[in-house]
Amino acid sequence: MQSELKHPKIVVLGSCCVDFTTYCPRLPMPGETLHGTKFMTSYGGKGANQCVAAAKLGGNTFMISRVGDDQWVAENGENQIVIVAGANNFLSKSDIDLAKDLVKNADVLIAQLETPFETTLEAFKLNTGIKLLNAAPARPDIEAILPYCTILCVNEPEASLIVGFNVEIANVKNALKKILEKGCDTVIITLGEKGAVYSSINSPDCVHVFCEKVIPKDTTGAGDAFVGALATFLMRDKSKPLHQVVGAACEVATLSVTREGTQTSYPENHSAFAEEYTFVIL
């Protein structure tokens, strides 16, 4: 996928899937059968979602992928997701070699963990720009790639697996410090309706950026909306402080949960920053 803008380049290495989504009054208990209210087939995969989110905001995007995941969404917006990787498992180092120039010269290279880890590591070693890793789905064995990460973006459960304890607001400062010690330049932990927190090697303050609270219709893909928006805003608004960029990405993710669907819920041409996003230093 490529937008009309010519530069800078945002390259997404990752998964591309077909989503089968069933809406129902609530998520079923183990062994329980519920009647669904609606069924949808749509495009998904974390990589494709992030690429679409960035492109819809005006980013100059490119996608490197091999071409399922099944989803059930409750009426309160919560979801459970099952991924059948399929062809995504065959994204290989040879694919990186075929796209070597694009990978190397990407201004932002985005990757996740729905495709082979070794392929992502190879791409991060090659790239000379900003390397943004969304470490999802959660797994603990990613320390080899962390020294190559310019930005690591995780949610609370994903951060918990990396640090070995349950991450919450009360201990998030310690969690950020522990992850930074593993080699990342900047770590962002998304907190759902509570916004996001981040810290960097060069600016070790733990900053909590808040977001507007809304009534969610569908939270599926909100984290991908955040990542795609973050990449676009990092390139488009380089003069903005990081808390403003993170706040704007939170705003895009918040907008996405007020609409049903994944890629279709992402806003287009959302260019206006708030005058100042609310944040505190923890």
Structure tokens at 196: 């996001």
- Helix, strand or coil for residue 179? helix
DSSP-assigned letter for residue 160: H
Chain mean pLDDT for the chain: 86
Within 8 A by CB and 6+ apart from 191, the residues are 155, 156, 169, 197
pLDDT at residue 124, rounded to an integer = 97
Q: Is 38 part of any domain?
A: no
Cα(2)–Cα(51) distance, integer angstroms: 9
Cα(144)–Cα(263) distance, integer angstroms: 31
Structure tokens at 173: 């400062």
Cβ(110)–Cβ(49) under 8 Å?
no
Q: Is 240 part of any domain?
A: yes
- Which of these ranges, 67-81, 160-174, 216-230, has the smallest mean pLDDT? 67-81
What's the predicted TM-score (pTM) here? 0.84
Within 8 A by CB and 6+ apart from 218, the residues are 73, 77, 79, 257, 259, 260, 261, 262, 265
Q: Is 41 part of any domain?
A: no
Q: What is the CATH number of the domain that holds 222?
A: 3.40.1190.20
Neighbouring CB atoms inside 10 A of 26's CB total: 12
Sign of CA dihedral 126, 131, 136, 142: positive
DSSP-assigned letter for residue 57: T
Cβ(21)–Cβ(42) under 8 Å?
yes
Q: Is 241 part of any domain?
A: yes
Nearest to 231 by CA among 266, 182, 207: 266
Nearest to 277 by CA among 236, 248, 253: 248
The domain in which residue 52 lies consists of 9-15+46-65+89-281
Query: Given 95, 141, 224, 237, which residue is catalytic?
Result: 224
- Residue with the bigger pLDDT between 106 and 261: it is 106
Task: Examine the residue annotation and report whether 224 is marked as an active-site residue of this protein.
Answer: yes
Q: Is 82 part of any domain?
A: no
17-69 confidence digits (pLDDT tens): 766 677 778 778 888 888 887 776 767 789 999 999 999 999 999 999 887 44
Cis status, amide bond into 216, omega within 30 of 0: no
1-28 confidence digits (pLDDT tens): 444 445 789 999 988 776 667 777 877 8
Q: Is 71 part of any domain?
A: no
Q: Is the pLDDT of residue 73 over 70?
A: no
Query: How many domains are there within the chain?
Result: 1
Q: Is 77 part of any domain?
A: no
Q: Is 83 part of any domain?
A: no
DSSP-assigned letter for residue 27: P
pLDDT at residue 174, rounded to an integer = 96
The burial class, CB within 10 Å (0-12 / 13-18 / 19+), for 32 is exposed
Within 8 A by CB and 6+ apart from 14, the residues are 45, 46, 47, 48, 50, 64, 65, 88, 91, 110, 111, 112, 114, 115
pLDDT at residue 268, rounded to an integer = 87
